[in-house]
């Protein structure tokens, strides 16, 4: 199944950078090497096996933009599933940005009215740097958090107003932290066709194994595509943080020519397992304190308290993950009978 994703925005706003980080395993620092995109760069990204994202990375220089809206209008804006419009938060020409955005929306509305629109307010980290000379870091932090959300909220309100009658969803992003993963997770979530079914089965799996939380990551991008939580957790940004950390780790593994396969993290209160799941996904299972303490009161010789400690060791959880694998593979429609051959038939 092919889905066309348009990536647009002003020149230098960071479209190619974020695409490279999410889909081409770049680290944030490497994006400095990227030059300006000329015209449209097409890339096909296989996502979850049978879903292919057809990414159209449209160069943002004015000459190209005018071209998209005039002579290439049909070609570009036809059959679009998702439009991702990137704004540079530092841009001095807000009016012009908004003008282009609206023109773009008009074209979308004409050619593919069903498309979903996402706005990414990018380079949020840059605002921080401008204010660095100020006094105490704590004051800065409080101030910035307020300032950030203030700026973001203003922009968001503007954009939602401007986007009418289409609906748009806004995210603040930066390539230097996990916000980028949050935004893209939300975007791909909308693209996966059977996500509800996947969620239902994941919920079931979580209940059977008594896990606190189970996350499903797409294998190449490490974006969270599905999650199930049984015990509330205070950190709402944990998914993106995990994505970010594990992806970095995976990349450093590949530098040593070793493939990342699984990981187990354990402390006194929980154990977390990350393991390859289906050919397209990784799974993360979080189990709270493995020892379930039961108190047995035996009153044979007066009041006697016995403490029974019972726990399921990590090997058992790995068996559970292994057993669930087959089920989820079937759900994804993976064909194991005929693996892809190295030699294409002529």
Partner 1 sequence: MLKPKTLTNVLSQANTGGVQCTLLLNREGTLLAYSGYGDKDARMTAAIASSIWLSYEKYGSVAFNEDNLKSYIVECEACCVSNGIFKLLLSQEGNVIVIKVSNVLLCMHANKSVPLGTLKAKITTLANYLEGPLTQVATT
Contacts with partner 1, residue ranges (CB under 8 A):
208-210, 287, 291-292, 294, 306-313, 315-316, 319-320, 322-324
Helical packing angle, 94-111 and 62-69, nearest 10°: 30
Kindly give, in sequence order, each residue whose CB lies less than 8 Å from that of residue 187, ignoring residues fewer than 6 positions away.
82, 84, 118
> Closest separation between CB of residue 306 and partner 1, Å?
6
Alpha carbons 224 and 247: distance in angstroms, whole number: 12
Cα dist from 268 to 215, 288, 290, whole Å: 21, 9, 9
Nearer to partner 1, 3 or 201 (CB): 201
Nearer to partner 1, 255 or 296 (CB): 296
Nearest to 177 by CA among 132, 123, 250, 254: 123
Alpha carbons 97 and 123: distance in angstroms, whole number: 15
> Closest separation between CB of residue 287 and partner 1, Å?
8
Nearer to partner 1, 245 or 292 (CB): 292
Nearer to partner 1, 30 or 304 (CB): 304
Alpha carbons 122 and 101: distance in angstroms, whole number: 15
Half-sphere exposure of 306 (CA within 13 A, CB side): 9
> Closest separation between CB of residue 205 and partner 1, Å?
8
Nearer to partner 1, 115 or 287 (CB): 287
> Closest separation between CB of residue 318 and partner 1, Å?
9
> Closest separation between CB of residue 209 and partner 1, Å?
6
Nearer to partner 1, 134 or 316 (CB): 316
- The answer to whether 105 and 26 have CB atoms below 8 angstroms apart is no
Strand partners, 217: 224, 282
> Closest separation between CB of residue 216 and partner 1, Å?
17
Largest CA distance in the chain: 93
Nearer to partner 1, 241 or 325 (CB): 325
> Closest separation between CB of residue 293 and partner 1, Å?
10
Alpha carbons 24 and 2: distance in angstroms, whole number: 19
Provide the phi-psi class of 333: left if phi over 0, else alpha when psi is between -120 and 50, else beta: left
Other CB atoms within a 10 A radius of the CB of residue 250 amount to: 19
> Closest separation between CB of residue 271 and partner 1, Å?
11
Nearer to partner 1, 237 or 293 (CB): 293
- The answer to whether 234 and 246 have CB atoms below 8 angstroms apart is no
- Torsion sign across C-alpha atoms 344, 251, 124, 181: positive
């Amino acid at each position: 199944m092919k889905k066309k994703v348009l990536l647009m925005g002003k020149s230098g706003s960071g479209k190619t950078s974020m695409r490279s980080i999410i889909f081409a395993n770049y680290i944030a620092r490497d994006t400095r090497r990227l030059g300006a995109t000329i015209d449209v760069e097409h890339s096909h990204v296989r996502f979850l096996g049978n879903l292919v994202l057809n990414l159209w990375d449209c160069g943002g220089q004015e000459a190209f933009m005018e071209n998209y809206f005039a002579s290439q209008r049909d070609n570009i804006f036809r059959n679009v599933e998702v439009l991702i419009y990137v704004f540079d938060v530092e841009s001095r020409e807000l009016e012009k940005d908004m003008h282009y955005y609206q023109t773009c929306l008009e074209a979308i509305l004409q050619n593919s009215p069903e498309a979903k629109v996402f706005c990414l307010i990018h380079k949020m980290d840059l605002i921080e740097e401008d204010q660095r000379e100020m006094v105490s870091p704590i004051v800065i932090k409080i101030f910035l958090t307020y300032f950030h959300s203030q700026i973001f909220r203003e922009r968001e309100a503007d954009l939602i107003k401007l986007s009418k009658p289409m609906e748009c969803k806004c995210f603040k992003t930066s390539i230097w932290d996990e916000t980028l993963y949050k935004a893209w997770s939300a975007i791909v979530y909308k693209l996966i066709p059977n996500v509800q079914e996947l969620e239902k089965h994941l919920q079931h799996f979580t209940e059977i194994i008594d896990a606190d939380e189970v996350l499903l990551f797409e294998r190449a991008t490490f974006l969270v595509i599905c999650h199930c939580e049984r015990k509330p957790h205070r950190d709402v940004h944990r998914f993106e943080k995990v994505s970010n950390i594990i992806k970095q780790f995976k990349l450093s593994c590949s530098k040593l020519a070793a493939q990342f396969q699984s990981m187990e993290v354990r402390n006194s209160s929980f154990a977390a397992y990350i393991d390859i799941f289906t050919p397209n996904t990784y799974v993360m299972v979080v189990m709270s304190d493995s020892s379930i303490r039961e108190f047995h009161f035996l009153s044979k010789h007066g009041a006697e308290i016995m403490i029974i400690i019972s726990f399921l060791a990590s090997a058992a959880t790995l068996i559970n993950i292994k057993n669930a694998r087959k089920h989820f593979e079937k759900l994804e429609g993976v064909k194991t009978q005929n693996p892809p051959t190295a030699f294409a038939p002529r």
